[in-house]
Amino acid sequence: MSNTLSPATRRTKPHATTTPTFAVISGAQVQQALAGREKELVELVEATYRLHGAGDSVNPPSYFLRFPDRPTSRIIALPASIGGEDHVDGLKWISSFPDNVTAGLPRASAVLILNDHDTGYPFACLESSIISATRTAASAALAADWLSRNRPRPTRVGFFGTGLIARYIHTFLAGTGWSFDTIGVHDVSADSAVGFTGYLRQAETTAQVQVHDTAEELIRSSDLVVFATVAGEPHVTDQAWFAHHPLVLHVSLRDLAPEILLSSANIVDDVEHCLKADTSPHLAEQLTGSRDFLDGTLDDVMCARHILPTDRTVIFSPFGLGVLDLAVGKYVYDEVARAGQLRLIDNFFHDLRRYG
């Protein structure tokens, strides 16, 4: 642990005299660095969206590794580069194996590699399932705030899907000042619904918690609906369920039939990313042959380039951008380095002499 310099500090030294270091940051360290900092992290995600909207980032398409013998599983590579003060590059490598849940393991696992802006050397590997959940939840809380500013603030939230992501989204909503009169819960797994209800009680929420037997009950009784499922194709098809025009955080991206999107106002995080991989927005584009159903990006709303209607359902469909993982991962790295707790791997880079 002798070298705890941040990448930014290392870059101030000439490359010829700088010996690259490599740190491994555990999930426990990640959790410690992020816990209780919901407001700060939402601000970080907002700043990152603004950088991305201004073109100060590189966020190529995600790459999907699929398996003929395991059709429900996949591993996704999200390469990205972010400018601003951090100037960091990297890659998130995240797996989604839904069958893990039946074995008592979380569906997703991930690592994040951070690369130095100037040398390209990787300088850290971080456990990233917590980082991924954090940036997803921070993005959802940010969207809930901005997309409800021209309508009555929701007081009835409903969670469709009650796993890790739902828990993190609730934590970030609560941590950024949201309070609700009622919290609705629905999951195809009764055990999952019970587990999430137990979490809500431990979180000491003052809201009335109600488990709904059907998706229709949940949606009709909520003015903020959070979809956090593992659905691979649309399963919510009835437009009448949305007649009260709720705000919808369509985090899992494939729950809603394209006809529901076509009757709503649609905001995404990035147009090109959302219109692929058979997401609901992608299906809507295929159905209509047009992207006209998209109203804009969250950055468009934050910069007042688009004003949302008050008489339609508003749906936020975030594909999830690698630049957000980089921003949160770099935040974690800096916090761990500041605390003097980086675990450096001795001689990770073995042969650094060009001619031996």
Contacts of 240 (CB under 8 A, 6+ apart): none
> Is 97 within a domain?
yes
Instruction: Give residue 275's domain range.
Output: 136-317
In a shared domain, residues 68 and 183: no
- Count CA atoms closer than 13 A to 107's CA, side-chain side: 17
Residue 77, pLDDT above cutoff 90: yes
Residue 273, pLDDT above cutoff 60: yes
Residue 238: both structure tokens together: 């009835």
In a shared domain, residues 269 and 333: no
Q: What percent of the chain has pLDDT over 90?
A: 83
Residue 279: both structure tokens together: 């997401």
CATH of the domain at 199: 3.40.50.720
In a shared domain, residues 329 and 206: no
The per-residue pLDDT of the chain, averaged, comes to 92
Centroid of chain to Cα 131: 8
In a shared domain, residues 140 and 247: yes
> Is 353 within a domain?
no
In a shared domain, residues 162 and 288: yes
- pLDDT value at position 7? 39
Query: Which residue stretches of 27-128 are H helix?
Result: 27-34, 38-53
> Is 355 within a domain?
no
Kindly state the average pLDDT of the residues 226-252.
96
> Is 286 within a domain?
yes
Q: How far apart are CA 131 and CA 33, in angstroms?
A: 10
- pLDDT value at position 289? 97
- pLDDT value at position 3? 38
- pLDDT value at position 352? 84
Are 137 and 168 in contact by the 8 Å Cβ rule? The answer is yes
In a shared domain, residues 30 and 161: no
Q: How far apart are CA 341 and CA 3, in angstroms?
A: 10
CA distances from 233 to 74, 254, 257, 258 (A): 15, 5, 8, 11
In a shared domain, residues 276 and 143: yes
> Is 350 within a domain?
no
Taking Cα atoms as reference points, which of 122, 101, 130, 143 lies closest to residue 268? Answer: 143
> Is 62 within a domain?
yes
Residue 14, pLDDT above cutoff 70: no
What's the pLDDT band for 138 if we cut at 50, 70, 90? very high
Number of domains present in the structure of the chain: 2
In a shared domain, residues 53 and 201: no
In a shared domain, residues 17 and 149: no
> Is 191 within a domain?
yes
pLDDT digits (tens, 9 = 90+) for 105-118: 888 899 999 999 99
pLDDT digits (tens, 9 = 90+) for 40-54: 999 999 999 999 999
pLDDT digits (tens, 9 = 90+) for 240-258: 999 999 999 999 999 999 9
Instruction: Point out the least confidently predicted range of 141-145, 251-255, 350-354.
Output: 350-354
pLDDT digits (tens, 9 = 90+) for 173-213: 999 999 999 999 999 999 999 999 999 989 877 899 999 99
- pLDDT value at position 11? 37
In a shared domain, residues 75 and 102: yes
What's the pLDDT band for 356 if we cut at 50, 70, 90? low
pLDDT digits (tens, 9 = 90+) for 316-336: 999 999 999 999 999 999 999
pTM to 2 decimal places: 0.91
The residues that bridge with 74 in the sheet, in sequence order, are 66, 96
CATH of the domain at 90: 3.30.1780.10
- pLDDT value at position 107? 84
